[in-house]
Structure 1
Amino acid sequence: MLTDNHGRVINYMRLAVTDRCNLRCFYCMPEDGLNWLSRTELMSNDEMLRICGLLVHMGIERIRITGGEPFVRKDIMQLLTGLSKLNGLKELTMTTNGVLTAPHVAEMKALGVSSVNLSLDTLDANRFFTITRRDEFANVMNTLDELLKHNIEIKINAVVMDGKNTQDIIPMVELTKDLPVSVRFIEEMPFNGDGHVYNGLQWDHVRILNEIEAHYPTITKLVDPLYSTSYNYHVPGHKGTVGIIAAYSRTFCGSCNRIRVTPQGTLKNCLYDDGVLNIKDLMRSGASDGKIEQELLKAFSNRPVDGWEAERLRVEKTGVHESMATIGG
């Protein structure tokens, strides 16, 4: 069992395979995109498989593939194939915006991808275009249909943004009436990628729940799974469930079981830190598996107690405003 300096189990890894994305969601990046990493700055498939294999050997049981948008990476299915063969890996999941995903769903199912987080902030095509700056709503809904058809567990992630999509909260909850999906509302975070100052949270997890309860007064609290980042609820008679993730309030940090690895191979003990170890550089310098394991254990023995401490300890003190695309969603 892999543990940190606070006695917390570490068994979950989020691996970002690219910083590139085919949407331009305003809360994630500027309209003209970012200064994308070059191919040599990204980890290769072999490098990602090596570090994943090493971490699984050390105790990681779950790997989630994120981006950017994973399916922008042309060799993503080869990577999934390699990961599916790792001895000791118990769960392989993905996060995607759904634009390019639908044609791959059948193969994902065959490889054992057990769950997909589908980013979808609105059910209105016009608002989708306003938020993402791209006309891809139909492709995303097609991916949702394919995932349902292949019986892959679906979590729909919606970032709640004041003045942008709060009118979608109730229609999104209504999705759970007839569909076996988990709709999860996420507090907006400051990772906008353009350096502008985050003006604070208007819709926190309490306000989101109050909005839902006003329309569904019989909604009931579920028992949250171990290590859950969401507070989970169920509307009587609905097939699916509702979750609320306090991503900015950071109320779930005490049970954090996850680490992140960015597309350029940087280990992040917390979403809010600025990176604690460059694994890619270690591999490319010829470090043995034993040396890399030693450095990883050293990093895990210095994890912050929560996201607030991680933010305070950042080397870069000008605030948190890199893009989620560069650190892994």
Structure 2
Amino acid sequence: MPEHGLNWLSRKELMSYEEMLHSCSLMVKMGIEKIRITGGEPFVRKDLMQLLTAISKLDGLKELSLTTNGVLTAPFVPELKKIGVRSVNLSLDTLDANRFFTITRRDEFANVMATLDALLKHDTEVKINAVVMDGQNTQDIIPLVEMTKDMPVSVRFIEEMPFNGDGHLYTGLQWDHVRILDEIKSKYPDIQKLVDPAYSTAYNYQVPGHLGTVGVIAAYSRTFCGTCNRIRITPQGELKTCLYDDGGLNIKDLMRGGATDNDLQLALLTAFGNRAKDGWEAEKLRVVHPGIHESMATIGG
């Protein structure tokens, strides 16, 4: 979240739950098997469990997952388990309460850890997402890896990306995936490379004897683009086939303009078939705001 906050949108500018469910249903019929609800923070929106429950019942959907900052999530963990959410990504950049406050500007560290405890208690697969930021939390890399010794979690370190909103100076990447891994190896030289699942954005590792695993995501270096099969729709309905593009197809506007499902399918397939070859090309082709990246708080983790 930028220090000055965000320009909040009116409700009519956001997709309704009905529009979200309809677009999810359409794309599942087109062959998409996995849906992840992310944010901002999903649980900021009221009645989120109703949407998740409805999506979980879509015929043909094989996996429903969630990305959350964990502040409001703990009370809903039993319900998430009940509707079949087996995997949750938890954003956690530090294990130090004071640094957590400095980074997030929120005194919510205890609530996030309560969410982690609840997820583990309910046997939910947990991936901890930590963005490595120079001068802010690099001292947390080793403590976060140490979590995997006794916890069955995947701790994933993510290169910092230039998604901090207009006016935020991005001075370039100081901690790339190579430097992050070197830091881990300084403490755990025997860490072993694992076989990465198909379409994985993370390079996966495990310290011998540890319950959990470690991942490193080259989000800025973009070395995984050749196998990326992800798409996302922002709360405003904008389709993004890459985090670094500036959209171009608005699902919400098409639906409100009277587009049929066939119209929507054709528009989606055209967008999918014309995605940039990688994140570098997507960034270069930005038209609406060249050189300016939205805040990740508005386009999702």
Q: Same fold (TM over 0.5)?
A: yes
Paired with 2:289 and 2:112, the residues of 1 have a C-alpha distance of 37
Paired with 1:320 and 1:61, the residues of 2 have a C-alpha distance of 32
| Residue of structure 1 in register with 2:195 after alignment | 223
Report matched runs for 1:105-124 at 5 Å: 105-124=77-96
| Residue of structure 1 in register with 2:176 after alignment | 204
SS at match of 2:13: coil
Stretches of structure 1 lacking an aligned partner (at least 5 in a row): 1-28
Q: Which one of 114, 118, 122 corresponds to residue 146 of structure 1? A: 118
C-alpha contact (below 8 Å) 2:158/2:216 kept by paired residues: yes
1:276 Cα deviation after fit: 2.2
SS at match of 1:113: coil
Paired with 2:178 and 2:170, the residues of 1 have a C-alpha distance of 20
| Residue of structure 2 in register with 1:94 after alignment | 66
Q: Which one of 35, 38, 51 corresponds to residue 63 of structure 1? A: 35
What is the alpha-carbon root mean square deviation over aligned residues? 0.8
Report matched runs for 1:1-329 at 5 Å: 29-316=1-288, 318-329=290-301
Count of paired positions: 301
AA aligned to 2:30 is M
TM-score, normalised relative to structure 2? 0.99
AA aligned to 1:44 is S
Paired with 2:67 and 2:168, the residues of 1 have a C-alpha distance of 26
1:222-255 Cα deviation digits (max 9, x unpaired): 0000000000000000000000000000000000
TM-score, normalised relative to structure 1? 0.90
Paired with 1:47 and 1:250, the residues of 2 have a C-alpha distance of 32
SS at match of 1:290: helix
Higher relative contact order by CA 8 Å / sep ≥ 6: 1 or 2? 1
C-alpha contact (below 8 Å) 1:97/1:118 kept by paired residues: yes
SS at match of 2:131: strand
AA aligned to 2:185 is E
Paired with 2:89 and 2:2, the residues of 1 have a C-alpha distance of 23
Stretches of structure 2 lacking an aligned partner (at least 5 in a row): none
1:33 Cα deviation after fit: 1.1
AA aligned to 1:325 is A
1:36 Cα deviation after fit: 1.3
Paired with 1:84 and 1:277, the residues of 2 have a C-alpha distance of 26
Paired with 2:254 and 2:12, the residues of 1 have a C-alpha distance of 15
Paired with 1:196 and 1:120, the residues of 2 have a C-alpha distance of 22
TM superposition outliers: structure 1 runs of 4+ over 3 Å? none
- The 10-residue stretch of structure 1 (129-138 or 311-320) with the greater mean CA deviation from structure 2: 311-320
SS at match of 1:258: coil
